[in-house]
A and B are shown apart, each in its own frame.
Chain A
């Protein structure tokens, strides 16, 4: 218990070096808020000007689309006007009609099931790997080797999904290295890239290859904040390396693990969109259709905008609910969670 407390305190010290002074300052300013708004704007106009470009971009490309979700309640017809706004104004409002159709659509539920299955699978077979790797890297004695391994395993994070899938095709595809070697050895080559039964393993392998290294960064940072004297004291008391791992390292990582779990749960309905879209045709809809690709295929690809918007809105609503719920659970367990302020 004490272990965790120290690390949390250490962590917050590290991340917010001037926390107390800042808080004090803003409290004082709250008490003094007698300065009229116009004076304050005149004083801070430069700061406001700096914020403006970002403000506008978010307004147009984030907030406007979020408001645009209302077309989920319309029978939106793009041909009713010269531009989307006009078409929007002229389209009929149909309430929850799109949602009704959606909930009766077996393809939608199939995509829903696929998404949840893949999330669950990756939670078990992907999520623990960066923790494992981070601990291993942290315990690597030679800093030179550690740096080398880190450099190499971070790299695939920066590859696009098109590249990652291309790599896998070149290695494991029907004309790839594996099939080629198997043919030479006189065996029947198998093509994992087009096999729907093993697709869930394939996508997880791709995700691991791309991001397992990158995922260690946050855990490595947390590991470096664990006080080494704790290990020393434990060793002096006769705790072996596995007991130190269990009683010091893992509790020290707990806040970060919980935080990432919350974020992952909040994103439970999003599994690598581009990754699936790229491979959907090769593997087939049954295995590779997830909610995001469903939204794409049943809206923009087919022109049925209202329907796709309804599916997207449904997904977003559940996602928001999930993240709030997960954060709530984290608070109940005594963790910091995401927005604790």
Chain B
């Protein structure tokens, strides 16, 4: 069966099998329209936001706030942001949280995944249950808040880094990947006298680049996106991560009583600055994602289907 799939993937994929009837006009038109609409619904807002952030005061005023067709490039919004202030600081905090957090979370997850991949080891069954239960029972909000504040983590980046430093889903994914590696490889390393740590570093990890990349991306994205934890645990606004700043700029200003016509002719360039903050928040994700995306199917699914 895998053979047919592979064959289809390699040679036959782009050609219609002989037994399949040719598609109808309507069917094909519908499919194309649907997919085009879907793709546009993602790309168009990104485009609009980028263009608006790069527009001059005049272009903004002329368009009425949101610019679709660019007229020249004006980077003043970005210059204002990077001149220092809340956004620059928030970008630093978020970068710090993301880098330290993902490194820590990846280490913890990989170690635990390897430690839980040897069914003959002592306490295997109990440990596995221990690690899987949090997948079904989420830590409740109020006691979690009390634990984190009780540990004195409030207003430190550790309040954002430590609690999510192991995700059971990611653990299951990595463990599934490790278990798919032929056991003989690890056994032979062990027979040759390698410790478990060395086996992990020299045999298992080099074979697991795909899954490490994917899970690393998952962690990095979740640290970059942290918002609610910051709402809970970070009160000092000079410690805000970027999502918190973005929210206060874009959404907190959006009060229920912004009656339709209030933003008419005299458009302040804050619109460009707002959109520039959006661009800066999206940029790292859009920049890293395409390189890792190709691993998704291969890396994620082994674990995900297994559940």
Contact = CB atoms under 8 A, between A and B. Distances in A.
A308 interface: yes
Interface size class of A (residues with CB under 8 A): 35 or more
A51 B224 CA distance: 26
Interface string A159-187: 11111011101110111110110011000
Interface of B: 1-2, 4-5, 8-9, 13-17, 19-21, 31, 34-35, 38-39, 41-43, 45, 48-49, 52, 63-66, 68, 107-109, 111-112, 114-116, 118-123, 127, 130-131, 134, 136-151, 162-163, 165-166, 171, 176, 179-180, 182-183, 195-197, 200, 217, 221, 224-225, 227-228, 231-232, 243, 246-247, 250-251, 254-256, 258-263, 271, 275, 278, 281-282, 285-286, 289-290, 293, 296-297, 300-302, 304-307
A198 interface: no
Q: Which of A61, A156, A190, A282 has the most CB of B within 10 A?
A: A61
Contacts of A173: 254
Contact of B150 (A84, A184, A193): A84
A218 B301 contact: yes
Interface in A6-21: 10-11, 14-18, 21
A299 interface: yes
27 contacts: A21-B183, A40-B122, A47-B114, A47-B122, A50-B197, A50-B200, A51-B111, A54-B108, A61-B162, A61-B163, A65-B144, A65-B146, A68-B146, A71-B142, A83-B150, A143-B13, A158-B217, A158-B221, A162-B227, A166-B251, A167-B45, A170-B52, A174-B260, A177-B66, A194-B256, A266-B136, A312-B140
B140 A309 contact: yes
Contact of B111 (A54, A149, A193, A218): A54
Given A224-B5, A228-B5, A66 B120 contact: no
A220 interface: yes
Given A148-B39, A191-B260, 4 more contacts: A155-B285, A180-B64, A183-B261, A300-B232
Contact of A153 (B38, B108, B195): B38
Nearest to A189: B260
A197 interface: no
Contacts, number: 338
A22 B119 contact: yes
B297 A220 contact: yes
A284 interface: yes
Interface stretch (A100-108, A113-121, A230-238): A230-238
A63 B141 CA distance: 12
Nearest to B227: A162
Interface string A126-165: 0000000100100011110000111111111011111101
Contacts of B197: 46, 50
Nearest to B246: A162
A64 B180 contact: no
B19 A15 contact: no
Contacts of A69: 140, 143
A15 B48 contact: no
A160 B48 contact: no
Contacts of B251: 162, 165-166, 169, 278-279, 282
B115 A47 contact: yes
